[in-house]
């Protein structure tokens, strides 16, 4: 097995991983970024066709490089992907694509071993930057009991309405992805959107009034809604476990397009059909599960994941495993941590902690 030594390994070449690599390079620290995709930005390219960011370009640039184009327009998902690719090229960041990390464990000298296929990398530090909510779709256990004649898709598989069969569509999950997809498919299919209402932001993103809204929103999301404040900790629980508010599509938009909005949850299956909390059975031809993702860190062979599936970290620093960091998590420090406007601050904090470790002698782990 081929073995090499690199000071810091960053796992994931999304916005969090690239921003961390940039800040490490600014500090003269050696690193490499590993990504399972064939091309930087492929996680964004795999989203549904009409997805656009919810923040204007003027706020979407990562540290050191503005996002190109009209500052008050909203980038498409493919433009975000291309920007990330250009960001890595602009700063000549050391990214290795088509590289899946199979295992992360401690080495005998207090560092880490990162295994990728037939290669091992010995590292003093590892940054896990694999995504805001993880990439493993969450589906309820009873989804396997749905009639096979009903077309089922998770939001990560949904691209466009033509994927769906003729007939009614049930969209499960009322957060922004659920409202966006329900609004789109209602043009071609009778649509029901079910699940709790997580609220909605009070402005129209495409209206000029949003130009006054965004500076305030980003200030609140960066400095008031943090893990240090009571309202920030309350919002953390809401966002991590229930999803964020509706952003672009509003309640009245759904109503105008004929979407039936029901607050009940899907709690099971009856005769192969989705069963709502109140006992209603929905006779639909399609189900789109906008139910989020599961954090799956079974490749990390270290006791750093809590009972809720989230890493036990503080601002990305893992106290139980010195040298291990996370970046890009939902609410890593603030509401904006999961967004392009906010990830740079978290990446800089992690890079500073890594640089500080490099100035101290390493303590060899006992045993």
The stretch 207-220 carries a mean pLDDT of 93
pLDDT above 60 for 148:
yes
- 98 C-beta neighbours (distance < 10 Å), count: 12
Domains along the sequence of the chain with CATH: 2-134+295-358 (3.50.50.60), 138-200+245-289 (3.50.50.60)
For 303-328, how does the pLDDT look when each residue is reduced to its tens digit (9 = 90+)? 999 998 899 999 999 999 999 999 99
pLDDT for the residue numbered 237: 84
User: What is the percentage of the chain residues whose pLDDT exceeds 90?
Assistant: 86
pLDDT above 60 for 105:
yes
The stretch 180-197 carries a mean pLDDT of 97
Per-residue CA distances from 144 to 104, 149, 245 (Å): 32, 12, 29
- 18 C-beta neighbours (distance < 10 Å), count: 29
Angle at 240 between CA 170 and CA 312, to 5 degrees: 145
pLDDT for the residue numbered 317: 98
pLDDT for the residue numbered 238: 83
Position 243 confidence tier, pLDDT thresholds 50, 70, 90: confident
Q: How far apart are CA 13 and CA 56, in angstroms?
A: 22
pLDDT above 70 for 46:
yes
pLDDT above 50 for 351:
yes
| b/e code 51-86 from CB counts within 10 Å (16+ = b) | bbbbbbbbbbbbbeeebeeeeeebbbbebbbbbbbe
pLDDT for the residue numbered 363: 45
Among the listed residues 137, 132, 136, the one whose alpha carbon sits nearest the alpha carbon of residue 17: 132
| Alpha-carbon radius of gyration of the chain | 22
- 339 C-beta neighbours (distance < 10 Å), count: 20
User: What string of DSSP letters covers 259-310?
Assistant: PEEE-PPEEEEETTEEEETTSPBP--SEEEE---EE---TTB-SS-B-TTSS
pLDDT for the residue numbered 315: 96
pLDDT for the residue numbered 361: 52
pLDDT for the residue numbered 365: 38
The stretch 85-109 carries a mean pLDDT of 96
The stretch 105-133 carries a mean pLDDT of 93
Structure tokens at 228: 């240090």
For 274-303, how does the pLDDT look when each residue is reduced to its tens digit (9 = 90+)? 999 999 999 999 999 999 888 889 999 999
Average pLDDT, whole number, for the chain? 94
- 2 C-beta neighbours (distance < 10 Å), count: 8
pLDDT above 50 for 367:
no
Among the listed residues 354, 301, 310, the one whose alpha carbon sits nearest the alpha carbon of residue 9: 354
User: What is the percentage of the chain residues whose pLDDT exceeds 70?
Assistant: 97
Per-residue CA distances from 62 to 52, 328, 334, 348, 353 (Å): 17, 13, 17, 11, 19
SS3 of residue 339 by DSSP: coil
Q: Which of 21-30, 150-159, 304-313 has the lowest mean pLDDT?
A: 304-313
Contact at 8 Å (CB) between 166 and 149? Answer: no
SS3 of residue 193 by DSSP: strand
pLDDT above 70 for 366:
no
């Amino acid at each position: 097995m081929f073995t090499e030594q690199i000071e810091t390994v960053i796992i994931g070449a999304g916005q969090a991983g690239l921003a961390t690599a940039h800040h490490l390079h600014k500090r003269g620290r050696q690193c490499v970024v590993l990504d399972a995709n064939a091309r930087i930005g492929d996680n964004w390219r795999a989203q549904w066709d009409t997805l656009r960011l919810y923040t204007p370009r003027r706020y979407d640039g990562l540290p050191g490089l503005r996002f190109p184009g009209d500052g008050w327009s909203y980038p498409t998902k493919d433009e975000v992907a291309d920007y990330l690719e250009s960001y890595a090229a602009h700063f000549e960041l050391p990214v290795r694509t088509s590289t899946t990390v199979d295992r992360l464990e401690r080495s005998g000298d207090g560092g880490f071993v990162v295994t990728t296929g037939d290669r091992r990398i010995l590292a003093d530090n590892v940054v896990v930057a694999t995504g805001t909510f993880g990439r493993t779709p969450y589906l309820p256990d009873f989804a396997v009991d749905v009639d096979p004649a009903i077309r089922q898709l998770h939001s990560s598989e949904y691209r466009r309405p033509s994927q769906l069969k003729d007939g009614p569509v049930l969209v499960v999950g009322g957060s922004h992805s659920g409202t966006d997809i329900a609004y789109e498919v209602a043009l071609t299919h009778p649509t029901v959107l079910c699940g709790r209402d997580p609220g909605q932001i009070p402005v129209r993103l495409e209206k000029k009034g949003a130009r006054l809204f965004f500076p305030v929103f980003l200030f609140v999301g960066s400095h008031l809604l943090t893990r240090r404040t009571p309202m920030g900790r309350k919002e953390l629980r809401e966002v991590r476990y229930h999803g964020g508010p509706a952003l672009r599509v509003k309640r009245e938009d759904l109503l105008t397009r004929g979407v039936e909005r029901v607050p009940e949850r899907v709690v099971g299956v009856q005769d192969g059909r989705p069963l709502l909390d109140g006992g209603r059975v929905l006779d639909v031809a399609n189900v789109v599960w906008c139910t989020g993702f599961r954090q799956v860190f079974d490749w990390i062979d270290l006791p750093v994941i809590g009972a809720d599936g989230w890493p036990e970290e503080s601002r990305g620093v893992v106290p139980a495993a010195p040298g291990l960091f996370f970046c890009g998590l939902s609410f890593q420090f603030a509401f904006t941590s999961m967004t392009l406007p906010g990830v740079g601050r978290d990446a800089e904090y992690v890079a500073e902690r890594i640089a500080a470790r490099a100035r101290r002698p390493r303590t060899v782990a006992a045993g």
